[in-house]
Amino acid sequence: MDFFSNILIPIIILIIIAYGKYKGIDIYDSFIRGAFDGIKTTYKISPYILGIFLAIGIFKVGYGIEILEYIFSPILKIFSIPKELLSLIIIKPLSGSGTLAIYKDIIPRVGIDTLKEKMGATIVGSSETIFYTMAIYYGNLKIKNIRHTLVCALISHMAGVLASVFICNILFS
């Protein structure tokens, strides 16, 4: 398996180069134009990404998560969601790397190989970073009307969270 995974990327690159040469495309020039466009896109979306990371940092340092755990604990009990996972549920739509940092902080609190940890791992893997993705795509395309996308994405996030908790309760309890 290691041999296959180590050889796969060079083979794909060679196939792309061979196909480009077959079609008469200047591959190096296309690569340079693509890299330049990537740098322009990065420049365009960097304020959106910076804003997301800044908001997460302020929220975490300002004890926002602890306040929300206290406020939402009755609702969490109804759905059998451990309150330790609320920060993960809130941060996941905002930032993937922020979610991994929160998950890393949760593990010492709940323990490794516990039901809560498995629920957290499943939540991390079962949903998307909604606001980050929307900021990149919609920010780059300058789309302002996002309400239907946002509502559907948040509903799917909550469905993923509830499914993660339900399935983990069935499999690991």
Q: Examine residue 38 and state whether it is found in any structural domain, yes or no.
A: no
Q: Examine residue 60 and state whether it is found in any structural domain, yes or no.
A: yes
Q: What is the predicted pLDDT for the residue at 147?
A: 78
Tell me the helix, strand and coil percentages in the chain, rounded to 5.
Answer: 85, 0, 15
Q: Examine residue 146 and state whether it is found in any structural domain, yes or no.
A: yes
Q: Examine residue 9 and state whether it is found in any structural domain, yes or no.
A: no
For residue 52, the one-letter residue type is I
Q: Which domain holds residue 131?
A: 46-172
Q: Contact 140/45 with Cβ under 8 angstroms?
A: yes
Token output for 132: 């980050």
Rounded CA separation 79/97 (Å)? 26
Token output for 156: 């799917």
Sequential pLDDT tens for the chain (173 residues) = 778 878 998 999 999 999 999 999 998 999 899 999 989 888 887 887 787 778 777 877 878 878 888 899 899 999 999 998 998 998 898 878 778 888 998 999 899 999 999 999 999 998 888 887 887 788 778 888 887 888 999 999 999 999 999 999 999 98
Can you give the pTM of this predicted structure? 0.66
Q: Examine residue 136 and state whether it is found in any structural domain, yes or no.
A: yes
Rounded CA separation 133/48 (Å)? 10
Q: Examine residue 106 and state whether it is found in any structural domain, yes or no.
A: yes
Rounded CA separation 2/62 (Å)? 45
Q: Examine residue 1 and state whether it is found in any structural domain, yes or no.
A: no
Residue 53's Cβ-count burial label (10 Å; 0-12, 13-18, 19+) is middle
Q: Contact 84/108 with Cβ under 8 angstroms?
A: no
∠ Cα 45 61 111 (to 5°)? 100
- Number of structural domains (the chain) is 1
Q: Examine residue 33 and state whether it is found in any structural domain, yes or no.
A: no
Rounded CA separation 160/171 (Å)? 16
